Amino acid sequence: MNKRDRHEGLGSGGFHNETLVIHSDDEVSNDGTVAPAIYYSATFRAQNAAEFADMAKTPHHPRYYTRYGNPVHERVEKVMAELEGTETALVTGSGMGAISTTLLALVSAGDHVIAQTRHYMSTAKIMDELLPRFGVEVTLVEQADVTAFADAIRPNTKLIMVESPANPTLVVTDIAAVAELARPRGIIVVADNTFASPINQRPHDLGADVVVHSATKYLGGHHDLIGGVICTSHELAERIWRTHISIGSVLSPMDAWLLLRGLRTLPIRVERINANALALAEFLEAQPQIERVYYPGLASHPQHELAKRQMRGFGAVIAFAIKGGYEATERFVSALKLPYNAVSLGGVDSLVVHTAAMWRGVMTEEQMRIAGIPPNFVRFSVGLEHIDDLKADVLQALQAI
Ligand SMILES: *Cc1c(COP(=O)(O)O)cnc(C)c1O
């Protein structure tokens, strides 16, 4: 498999993503069923003592003890490695499980980490509080500025964490440029690809060493499970797995099975979600009640050219600001009938959040302003409802404010 082929959407054996998500796991525990079996077993029997000894010393064995691996995990891992173009993958019990396990596996006291000023909130907490507690220094940089990453590099820089596009204003990081800074210095680049999905962006092709996901979002795709995935080389995966079995962020076999079911339709879901979201973003931009729309697929996004270069589609999440302030924004969100007022993103149902309402009580208005969250800010994760119905719903809610 070469990278050029992958950019045409082709993976192992020359197959497209739509085929890879159905067949990459064909050879795992092939017991003649068409739908995969759920291996609801905490532990697995060896045929004899020699086999047991072998299982016990094989890293990431899929049939030894479910914290170490499980046949349903193995299926998900095969599919995800194909989609991200990495040698292998490791599933975890949540997206945060994937991120914290990766970071704790790869950095030690005395190391330096570079991360972005904007990250998923719990990732930001790892950078602000957890890593410093263990003697790891962290520098946060403005992600839109590649020279800020370059200037932050020190002799002890071990890892750079990127996340693109990032909440809440969908700022984009030039992943290839960051990877180019890191590679000659032996710095590991970890990319949180949750907001893009592997259908829209492949950070490993752009030079990232480790790609992490919250599988809770597009990969599962139905708002029914919490899970995570780490996609990387055999070498790094084994190092991360050794920490994983100590931390114990394990995906249940049932949730792994639901995740596998979700992955079977990932390419077609993301394709339709991309189309719906772009159409809705353009529609919003044309409405007089809207102050500004943030979506990397719009020509008005300050990094639209970069987004087009590193993404094949722009995803579900649109952010926008409503004219009229906090109360008007509350009225708008309450007047919407189709999207549920709930956190998360990338699933079949549209979800909407009034960001300032979510953070009120947790952050002061001043802190929100610094974080780029004005009081009239809305985050909309576009689902698979018909685009005409979504537009009509948004229009009636705008007229209600
Ligand atoms: C949701 C999310 C996470 C955390 O994932 P969980 O599955 O909720 O633990 C991490 N990063 C990003 C970008 C997310 O959207």
Which of 192, 205, 209, 255 is the catalytic position?
192
Residue 120 is a catalytic residue: yes
The HSE-up count of residue 324 (CA atoms within 13 Å, CB side) is 15
pLDDT score, position 363: 82
How does residue 126 score in pLDDT terms, banded at 50, 70 and 90? very high
360 pLDDT more than 90: no
The HSE-up count of residue 370 (CA atoms within 13 Å, CB side) is 5
Atom 8, ligand 1: residue with shortest CA distance: 95
pLDDT tens, residue by residue, 69-104:
999 999 999 999 999 999 999 999 999 999 999 999
Nearest ligand 1 atom, CA 226? 7
Atom 15, ligand 1: residue with shortest CA distance: 194
Q: Are 136 and 163 in contact (CB under 8 A)?
A: no
How does residue 119 score in pLDDT terms, banded at 50, 70 and 90? very high
CA of 128 to the centre of ligand 1 (A): 17
How many Å apart are CA 317 and CA 116, to the nearest integer?
19
Nearest to 202 by CA among 322, 288, 108, 309: 309
* Comparison of pLDDT for 151 and 14, the residue scoring more: 151
Structure tokens at 176: 């290839």
Mean local confidence (pLDDT), 28-53: 94
Mean local confidence (pLDDT), 111-120: 97
DSSP for 191-244, written as a single string: EE-TTT-TTT--TTTTT-SEEEEETTTTTT-SS----EEEEE-HHHHHHHHHHH
How many Å apart are CA 196 and CA 176, to the nearest integer?
15
pLDDT score, position 5: 47
122 pLDDT more than 90: yes
pLDDT score, position 168: 85
pLDDT score, position 372: 76
371 pLDDT more than 80: no
CA of 119 to the centre of ligand 1 (A): 10
pLDDT score, position 6: 47
Residues at CB less than 6 angstroms from ligand 1: 94-96, 120, 123, 163, 192, 194-195, 214, 216-217, 226, 228
pLDDT tens, residue by residue, 279-326:
999 999 999 999 999 999 999 999 999 999 999 999 999 999 999 999
Q: Are 178 and 206 in contact (CB under 8 A)?
A: no
Residue 192 is a catalytic residue: yes
Structure tokens at 273: 């979600």
341 pLDDT more than 70: yes
Query: What is the residue-averaged pLDDT of the chain?
Result: 95
Mean local confidence (pLDDT), 163-167: 95
Percent of the chain clearing pLDDT 70 (strictly above): 98
Q: Are 143 and 164 in contact (CB under 8 A)?
A: yes
Q: Which of 216, 218, 229, 251 to mutate to test the pocket of ligand 1 (most atoms within 8 A of CB)?
A: 216
pLDDT tens, residue by residue, 244-253:
999 999 999 9
CA of 218 to the centre of ligand 1 (A): 11
Atom 6, ligand 1: residue with shortest CA distance: 95
CA of 193 to the centre of ligand 1 (A): 10
pLDDT tens, residue by residue, 231-246:
999 999 999 999 999 9
Atom 2, ligand 1: residue with shortest CA distance: 214
Nearest ligand 1 atom, CA 345? 15
364 pLDDT more than 90: no
CA of 213 to the centre of ligand 1 (A): 7
pLDDT score, position 10: 66
Q: What are the structural domains of the chain?
A: 17-264 (3.40.640.10), 266-399 (3.90.1150.10)
